[in-house]
């Protein structure tokens, strides 16, 4: 049996000596062998809104995974996807213990270009591919909160 391992490193430097209200929550994360790193902070009011927080990263990971699987399936189905934009939203109610992301709604707008002389793929076809991608998405399968996919289809003009 193959077990995939994903490593990540986080780094924070600072001092909490000034108390909970005043220390900087900003830190970096990287996942070798990738060389890019991201700057992160806490998601609550003490965080710097200019930086990402772990909750956003979970939502981003779910969105990215869904998109990658969908594009894979669409390419195999010979559907020309020319744009995929997702307005994903994660919900984390603080009165539902333990506090956690209870729901992530993925709301992709999928723009397809029909093949010359052929009709565009149906919305049902796109929804079916989205559902299959959702069932295969590693991130969604790893979460215990609800992950939904609410796709919207747009058709680009033929080339």
Sign of the C-alpha dihedral, residues 32, 33, 34, 37?
positive
State yes or no: pLDDT of 99 exceeds 70. Answer: yes
- Residue-level pLDDT at 8: 82
- Residue-level pLDDT at 106: 95
State yes or no: pLDDT of 87 exceeds 90. Answer: yes
Over residues 88-111, the mean pLDDT reads 92
The SS3 of residue 106 is strand
Residues 1-14 pLDDT 10s:
887 787 888 888 88
Interior angle at CA 128, CA 120 and CA 124, nearest 5: 45
Residues 22-52 pLDDT 10s:
888 888 888 888 888 888 888 777 888 888 8
Higher-pLDDT residue of 10, 97 = 97
Contact indicator for 14, 23 with CB cutoff of 8 Å: yes
Domains of the chain, by residue range, sit at 1-52, 54-155
* Bridge partner list, 52: 40
| CA separation, residue 127 to residues 71, 109, 110, 117 (Å) | 13, 11, 10, 23
What is the rounded distance in angstroms from the CA atom of residue 71 to the CA atom of residue 63?
12
CATH topology for 54-155 is GMP Synthetase; Chain A, domain 3 (3.30.300)
pLDDT-derived band at 159 (thresholds 50, 70, 90) equals low
Over residues 92-106, the mean pLDDT reads 91
């Amino acid at each position: 049996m193959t077990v995939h391992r994903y490593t990540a490193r986080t780094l924070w430097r600072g001092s909490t000596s000034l108390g909970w209200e005043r220390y900087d929550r900003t830190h970096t994360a990287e996942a070798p062998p990738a060389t890019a790193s991201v700057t992160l902070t806490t998601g609550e009011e003490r965080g710097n809104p200019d930086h990402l927080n772990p909750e956003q990263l979970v939502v981003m990971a779910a969105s990215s995974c869904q998109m990658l699987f969908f594009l894979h399936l669409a390419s195999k189905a010979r559907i020309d996807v020319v744009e995929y934009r997702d307005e994903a939203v994660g919900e984390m109610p603080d009165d539902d213990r333990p506090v956690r992301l209870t729901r992530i709604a993925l709301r992709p707008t999928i723009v397809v270009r029909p093949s010359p002389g052929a009709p565009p793929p149906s919305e049902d076809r796109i929804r079916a591919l989205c559902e299959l991608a959702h069932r295969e998405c590693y991130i969604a399968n790893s979460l215990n909160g609800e992950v939904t996919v609410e796709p919207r289809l747009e058709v680009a003009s033929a080339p």
